[in-house]
Amino acid sequence: MFQRISRLLKKGVIKREGEIYPDEIFIDSENLPEFDVDHFEGRLEQPVGKKVFAFIAIFFALVGVLFAGKIWMLQIREGRAYEEMSANNHLKHTIIFADRGIIYDRNKKELAWNIVDAAGGNFSLRRYAPQSGLAHILGYVSYPSKDKYGFYYDENFTGKDGVESYYNETLAGENGLKITETDVMGNVQSESVLRPPRDGNNIYLSVDSRISEKLYDFIKSTAAEYDFAGGAGIILDVKTGEVLSLVSFPEFSSGVITDGEDKDAIRELLANSDKPFLNRAIGGLYTPGSIVKPFIAVGALEEGIIDPKKQILSTGQIEVPNPYNPEQKSVFKDWKAHGWVDMRQAIAVSSNVYFFSIGGGYENQKGLGITKIAEYLEKFGLGNDTGIDLNGEQDGLVPTPEWKKNTFNDDLWRLGDTYNTSIGQYGFQVTALQMARTVASLANGGTLVTPTVLLRVSDKKGKELGFNPDNLKVAREGMRLSVTDGIASSLAIPGLSVAAKTGTAELGVTKERVNSWVTGFFPYENPRFSFAVVMEKGPRSNTIGATYVMRQLLDWMNVNTLEYAR
C-alpha cells in the first residue's frame, strides 16, 4: 500500500498538501516482518459480522422458549397439584422438651425422675419416690401448658416447692427446637432439628430417704395416737450443716400435685385445716419452752454472773413483790420442787427457778437481763433464718422490750417478762431447724453452720461464735446428765450415747394445749448429728410426745443405720 501511494504521488494523481507525518501513514505488515500477526499487530480493526448477531439472537430465543415451557408446566399443567400441596402441607416449629434432672438421696437412690408419657405426650412425666417424709424437701413441678389450639403458652417445667423450686434452674435444662412439615392429615412429611435439647443437671441430696421415711412415720403415728395437730423433725450434721432428714407432718403427695389429675385428692389437701402444704420444719413457728435453757446457761457463764457449781434452791416457785403494792406478789412456778441444783443439774431436771434466777435475777443472784438474753440467743441463731437452700423459711422471734412496746401499744417490759423469756415462753417463736442448728453449734464447739439439703456442696466452715469452750462444755454435760439422770432418760439407749434437752411450751390463755419438744445430739463423746423434734398442739395432760418419737427413731437407727449411730 505504501509503494502504491508513492507512485501516485510521483504521477501527480495525488497531490500532497503540507508535510506528511509518520503517524499518518498506514503501515503495511508485510513491510515490518517483526510484527506478530497472531496477536493482531499491524492489522486494521474489522466490524462484527451479521452472522454473530444472528447466532446470539437464536440462542436467547431458545432460552426464552425453555423458560416459557417450564412456566407453562408449573402454572397450567401441574399448577393444581402444587396448589393442593401448598394448601395441605405446612411447616411448623416444634419444641423438643428437655428432660428434667434426676434428684438422688445421699445413697444414690432416685427420689425424682422422668418417664416417657405412655399416652404419646411431647414431654416426659415427672415421677417421685412413693415413700413418705420427702414431699417438703422435694416439692413438685407444673408441666408445660398449651391452649385449646395446641400451642404451648408455657414451654417450661416449673418447680413449685422444695428443691424442685430452689434448684429449678439447675434441674430444668434447655428445650430444643425442630422444624416439621406435615400434610393435611397431620402426617409428618419431613423434619429437621434446628437446636438439640440440653437435659437438666442431676443433683444429690444430703438426706437419707430411709431415715426420713421412718421419722415421718413415727411422728405421724404419735400424732394420731396422742392427739397432736402435726409435727416436724430435723437431723443435722453438726460440722457440715448437711441435712440428714427434714420432715413435716402432715404432708402432700408430690406426684398427685404434679400430675394434677386426681382433683378430689387435691381439693382434700387444699381444704385440710392441718395445713399439709406448710413445711413445719422451716416455716412453722413454735414457742420453744425449756429447750432454750442450755443457751441461757452459756450466756450466764460468758457474762460471769454465776459459777456453774453454785447451787440455787428450787422450792417449786418464786414470789416477786409488786413494787407499787408490796401486799401483792407475782408468783412464778416451777414444774416441781427440785431442791438445791447447780447448773448441770438445773439443765438435767429443767428447773424453772434456777433459770428465773440467772435470767432475770432473784434475791442475791444477779440475772442476765433481757438485753443480754436477747443478745446471746440471737448470737446462737435464734430469731433469724438459717439460710437453708429451701424456700419458705421463717425468722422467728426473741422477745424484747422494743417488740413488746410495738406489739402491745407501748406496754412496758416487766421483770416477769424476763423470767418467762428465760424459760422459752412469752412471745418466743422458733423453728425446728433453728433449734437443730443452735444445738449443733453447742455440740461442735461454737460454730454456727449453714444448713443445706445438698450433699457436700463445699468445705465452707460456719461462723465462729467465739464462746469459751469450757462454758459450752458445761451445757453439753448438763444435756448428757438429762439423759443419764434427768427428764430425758427415755433416750438412754444401749450402745448409743445421746445428750438431750426436752421442753413443754404452754399455748394460749387456757394453756390446755402444749408443744412437746426434744433437742439434742449424738454420739455424745464425738458429736456428729444434732436433732430437733416438735409435736404440735397436744393435750397438756399428755406425757407422750417428741421424746417418744426420737426414742423410736434412734432405736431403729441403732439397728438399721449404724453408720450414723457410731
Residue 118 covered by a domain = yes
Residue 276 covered by a domain = yes
3-class DSSP assignment, residue 281: helix
- Cα–Cα distances (Å) from 142 to 145, 238, 267, 402, 420, in that order, read 9, 35, 17, 44, 46
- How high is the pLDDT of residue 60? 74
Are both 197 and 276 inside the same structural domain?
A: no
State the Cα torsion 484-487-493-498 to the nearest 10°.
-70
Residue 13 covered by a domain = no
- How high is the pLDDT of residue 411? 85
pLDDT digits (tens, 9 = 90+) for 307-320: 999 999 999 999 88
| pTM reported for the whole predicted model | 0.81
- How high is the pLDDT of residue 502? 96
Are both 425 and 456 inside the same structural domain?
A: yes
Q: What CATH number corresponds to the domain at position 186?
A: 3.90.1310.10
* Alpha-carbon span 493 to 477, nearest angstrom: 17
Residue 6 covered by a domain = no
Are both 32 and 168 inside the same structural domain?
A: no
* Alpha-carbon span 393 to 248, nearest angstrom: 13
Residue 7 covered by a domain = no
pLDDT, mean of each 10-residue run, the chain (566 residues): 53 54 51 54 58 73 74 63 54 84 97 89 91 96 85 87 96 89 68 88 97 98 95 97 97 94 91 93 95 98 97 93 78 92 97 96 95 96 95 95 90 92 93 98 96 81 92 98 96 95 85 91 96 94 92 96 89
- How high is the pLDDT of residue 355? 97
Max CA distance (Å), the chain: 170
Are both 386 and 330 inside the same structural domain?
A: yes
How many domains, the chain?
A: 3
Q: What CATH number corresponds to the domain at position 401?
A: 3.40.710.10
3-class DSSP assignment, residue 500: strand
- How high is the pLDDT of residue 353? 96
Domain boundary among 160, 179, 204: 204
- How high is the pLDDT of residue 77? 63
* Alpha-carbon span 146 to 141, nearest angstrom: 16
Are both 217 and 349 inside the same structural domain?
A: yes
| Cβ(402)–Cβ(413) below 8 Å | no
Taking residue 388's Cβ as centre, other Cβ atoms within 10 Å add up to 23
Are both 474 and 391 inside the same structural domain?
A: yes
Are both 378 and 395 inside the same structural domain?
A: yes
- How high is the pLDDT of residue 83? 56
Residue 59 covered by a domain = yes
Are both 176 and 273 inside the same structural domain?
A: no
Are both 195 and 322 inside the same structural domain?
A: no
Are both 69 and 132 inside the same structural domain?
A: no
Which residue range is the domain that position 29 belongs to? 24-75
- How high is the pLDDT of residue 86? 54
Residue 359 covered by a domain = yes
Residue 2 covered by a domain = no
* Alpha-carbon span 21 to 385, nearest angstrom: 111
* Alpha-carbon span 409 to 398, nearest angstrom: 18
Per-position DSSP letters for 390-405, written without gaps between them: SS-----B---HHHHH
Are both 252 and 182 inside the same structural domain?
A: no
Are both 457 and 373 inside the same structural domain?
A: yes
Domain boundary among 204, 219, 242: 204
